[in-house]
Amino acid sequence: MIAKMKIGPKGQVVIPKLIRDDFGLKPGGEVIVDYNGRDVVIRKTASNIAEIARAIAMSGRKVKVTAELLKKLDEEEFDERNERLSRR
């Protein structure tokens, strides 16, 4: 889907509802805004352990990954998926 949106006076852009629903984006949620000199890209934040691990590895940061952290991330992803499926 391609959508042409206007930029508001505070630099805000509204993500169309269909896209928000498809990606599970909710009010208060976070997205990543990136640019490469030509394009501005909005990405959903990592929502599963593999994506998070890849993002950490690519960042070069050292992060202590514990069983508790992995369990919490897994539970959050499970809850998000169930909520999205129950709305359909």
Contact present, 70 and 56 (Cβ < 8 Å): no
Predicted local distance difference test score (pLDDT) of residue 17: 92
- Cα Rg of the chain, angstroms: 16
Domain boundaries, the chain: 46-87
Contact present, 42 and 15 (Cβ < 8 Å): yes
Beta-carbon count within 10 A of 52 CB = 18
* Encoded tokens for 6: 């206007």
pTM: 0.49
- pLDDT tens sequence across 12-64: 999 999 888 888 888 888 888 888 888 988 888 766 666 677 667 777 777 77
Predicted local distance difference test score (pLDDT) of residue 85: 66
